[in-house]
Chains A and B, each alone.
Chain A
């Protein structure tokens, strides 16, 4: 899908999310890590994009990466991801950090890692 395609059809984004502009949870950020739940088959009613999204998440990716690969806005993918978490098809890998800043211990680990690059 070409980016120009959805830019030219503003209504389309809302059709994909059944008219909703906000996800069912507000803890999703662009860096939130998500992953497919392999044991959970995607519902037969799921659309092509939902299937593609779950397929993408066979390994861990951040929400922003999913959005980039699907060539859709992050805000829209947040709605889809939220629904797929509700249906048990996706799991949030980094849930514990929602709205919590990393602590000093985490920053120290990051510094150590950066110094080794």
Chain B
């Protein structure tokens, strides 16, 4: 993140004057699953980071002793100017339940979420999927990030293990590869278009 601090005024990083609309997509997943890698692969600017201090209820603590702690959560993000008047922002955020307050606000108004999965640690993604399904109505697509030593499970086996709905898209991806990452976004937006909430035209 040194790139941001070394040049604070960054005139070249401004959006084109024609851009008058922004939309966002969330990139959620466990730590180390490749969120920032994917964002960096498609973003037209070096991924930026902001940090937010949030109060989280400690999990697994005696409920009779409500114990809240303050945590700093980093959010990495990037952007793509997809048309001359629309900028697409990708916000990466940890998906665990204790960060819910942070990403509930982020989910508001989002086109959808890419849920990144590492098949070597499938169980890490259960909580993220639970949160999305139980607490939001936003469209999501599951992205299996292929690491060199990932076991080669057929996607249908991963779908079954994650107990996904039949209509939820699941795609493989190399998060380092731009075209591969762009395809995950296309999959998500296509899926979002089937949702009634996006049917109306509000140009």
**Closest CB in chain A relative to B165 CB, distance in Å:** 20
Q: How many contacts A-B (CB < 8 Å)? A: 166
A78 to B82, CA, bound (A): 25
A64 touches B189 (CB 8 A): no
The answer to whether the Cβ of A7 comes within 8 Å of any Cβ in the partner chain is yes
The residue from B17, B79, B87 contacting A59, defined by CB atoms under 8 A apart: B17
- B19 touching A60 by the CB < 8 A rule? yes
Question: What CA separation (Å) do A33 and B24 show in the bound complex?
Answer: 12
Whether the Cβ atoms of A101 and B50 lie closer than 8 Å is no
> In the complex the two chains form, what is the Cα distance from A100 to B52 in whole Å?
25
Task: State which residues 79-117 of A face B: CB under 8 Å.
Answer: 93-94, 96-97, 99-115, 117
Contact call B83/A102, Cβ cutoff below 8 A: no
- Is the interface on chain A under 10, 10 to 19, 20 to 34, or 35 or more residues? 35 or more
Q: Is the interface of B mostly helix, strand, loop or mixed?
A: mixed
The reply to whether the CB of B140 lies closer than 8 angstroms to some CB of chain A is no
Which residues of B from 33 to 80 have beta carbons under 8 Å from A?
Answer: 42, 48-53, 72, 75, 77, 79-80
B82, A110: Cβ atoms closer than 8 Å? yes
* B198 partner, pick from A29, A71, A107, A114, beta carbons under 8 A: A107
Contacting pair B89 A30 (CB below 8 A): yes
Contacts of A73 in B (CB 8 A): 50-53
- B160 within 8 Å of A by Cβ? no
Give the contacting residue for B15; candidates A61, A100, A106; CB below 8 A: A61
Contact B9 A62 (CB under 8 A): no
Residue contacts A-B, CB under 8 angstroms, 13 given: A29-B105, A31-B22, A59-B14, A59-B17, A60-B15, A64-B75, A65-B48, A68-B77, A73-B51, A101-B111, A105-B202, A110-B23, A117-B80
Interface residues of B (CB under 8 A from A): 4-5, 8-11, 13-17, 19-24, 42, 48-53, 72, 75, 77, 79-80, 82-83, 86-89, 91, 105-106, 108-109, 111, 178-179, 182, 185-186, 189-190, 192-193, 197-203
